[in-house]
Amino acid sequence: MAEIFTRMSKDDFKECLQFLSKAFKRDDSEAFKALFPRIMRPLDDAMNAHHCIKLDGKIVGMAASYPLVLKYGDLSLKVAGSGNIAVDETCRGKGYMSALLNHTAKEDKKDGFAFSYFHGNEARYRRFGYHKCGVQCSFDINGRFFDPKLDISGITFEDLTKQSDEILKKAYELYKTQYHFEREFEDYKLALPSNGSINYAAFKHGEFIGYIVHAEYIKNVYLSDLDDFAVVMKAYLNYKNTATVCYVVPDTEYELMRTAIKYSESYRMWPPANFRIYDFKKTVEFFLAVKLTNGDFEGSFTIDSDIFGKWSITAKNGVPCVERFDGKADFTLKGLEVYDFLFAGNNAFRQSLTAGANAILPIPIYCPYLN
């Protein structure tokens, strides 16, 4: 049989939908088009993000690397959102998944992505260099923690996707105030309902004041004035007819965390995603720069990683610097433990850290949910 690795084109669109629906056991062959309206389109630009293996012209395996620009304030980084990874059940056990993911990694590097990431189960992908790390906080918002006298009568909710462009443009500006993917306005609108997310526009006495993104839990709360958090969340619990709701926040959004914890019955910290770093310097400098925007600190240390090599990592005068170096390193790291050392919130290396490393770590690697 003739076996080829290739990127999909618009001509593969229909077969791609059918393959994914079969692989993920969806009855509707159009299901993935509805789940991902922005990326599942019969256009070459959209379909080129999907790498596949074809046997005699038929798709038997695929893995996507969706090109994204991660933004935090004025900082930006080109990354790949991985997803829709599958092999036809009749072709499993033949090494196609390994070959496909290794091929995709080579293409990611050629495309200049700093790292690849995905959300979900790490176990099967760890052998390909992915590791779950970083820190995000989930807050169990409970209605009992709000002032019972707080008047919520002026707060109403509507479907954001059905609002006028005037309101959607206000929402778009709020979207850019937190971690986000760089998108033009029309692209932003297209992505809103992706991956089962429901976007609730919040109005106060008829005036748009923000919106909530909710899937299985609240993924984002965007407000023009954070002082409205209590009244909006209390009203939202009432609107959803529930006593509690889970709200997840990256640990760099300090004001949101300080506000959310006031109304939380409990909270926990956990890693947001699985990461595979291709460009160590760009990745570490980006997230260290993010951390520096939230506080001025100084520190320096060196590592020797058998994955990434020897690096000096420094923060001074509000500027991150990650450079190659020769010599004996402060820390020698084996395999994937380099991810835990640099990015884990519950740092197992804490007792052995130097003062310079302790000032910098953990580095807050993060990526929003792909939508």
CA distances from 226 to 141, 143, 152 (A): 16, 18, 16
Cα three-residue angle 287-81-94, rounded to 5 degrees: 125
Cross-strand pairs, 79: 68
Taking domain 138-269, whether its CATH number is 3.40.630.30 is answered by yes
Amino acid at 205: H
Cβ distance 120 to 274 under 8 Å?
A: yes
How far is Cα of residue 258 from the mean position of the Cα atoms in its chain? 21
Instruction: Identify residue 91 by its one-letter amino acid code.
Output: C
Whether residue 1 is predicted with pLDDT greater than 60 in this model: the reply is: no
**Residue 332 carries which DSSP code?**
E
Q: What is the average pLDDT across 358-362?
A: 91
Average confidence score pLDDT of the chain = 92
Q: What are the tens digits of pLDDT across the range 250-301? A: 988 999 999 999 999 999 998 999 999 999 999 999 999 999 998 889 999 9
Q: What is the pLDDT averaged over residues 93-114? A: 92
Structure tokens that stand for 216 in this block = 């299985």
Asked if residue 307 lies in contact with residue 336, where contact means CB atoms within 8 angstroms, the answer is yes
Give the pairing type, strands 299-305 and 331-333. Answer: parallel
Where in the sequence of the chain do the CATH 3.30.1050 domains occur? 273-360
231 and 239 in contact (C-beta within 8 Å)? no
> What does CATH list as the number for 273-360?
3.30.1050
Residue 275 contacts residue 115 (beta carbons within 8 Å): yes
The pLDDT assigned to 33 comes to 80
236 or 353: whose pLDDT is higher?
A: 236
In the block, residue with structure tokens 């080109």: 78
Cα–Cα distance measured from residue 300 to residue 314, given in angstroms and rounded to the nearest whole number: 4
Residue % of the chain over a pLDDT of 90:
74
Query: Any long-range contacts for 298-301 (C-beta under 8 Å, 24+ apart)?
Result: 298/359, 299/355, 299/356, 299/357, 299/358, 299/359, 299/360, 300/356, 300/360, 301/330, 301/331, 301/354, 301/356, 301/357, 301/360
Which band of pLDDT confidence, cut at 50, 70 and 90, is reported for residue 30? confident
The pLDDT value given to residue 92:
85
Query: What pLDDT score does 14 carry?
Result: 94
Residue 142 has pLDDT above 90, yes or no: yes
Domain limits, CATH 3.40.630.30, in the chain: 3-113, 138-269
Mean pLDDT of 24-30: 81
SS3 state of residue 7: strand
DSSP 46: H
Residue 150 has pLDDT above 60, yes or no: yes
Three-state DSSP state, 147: coil
d(CA 81, CA 368): 10
CA dist., res. 187 & res. 313, Å (int): 36
Q: Is 24 helix (H, G, I), strand (E, B) or coil?
A: coil
Burial class (CB in 10 A: 0-12, 13-18, 19+), 306: exposed
Alpha helical stretches, state H, 24-95? 31-35, 44-47
Q: Which of 348, 128, 145 is closest to 260 using CA atoms?
A: 145
What average pLDDT score do residues 27-56 get?
Answer: 86
Under DSSP, is residue 160 helix (H, G, I), strand (E, B) or coil?
helix
| CA 274 to chain centroid | 9
Q: What are phi and psi of 350, to 5 degrees?
A: -55, -40
Confidence of residue 26 (pLDDT cuts 50, 70, 90): confident
Q: Which fold has domain 3-113?
A: Aminopeptidase (3.40.630)
Q: Give the mean pLDDT of 58-78.
A: 95
Banded pLDDT at 179 (limits 50, 70, 90) = very high
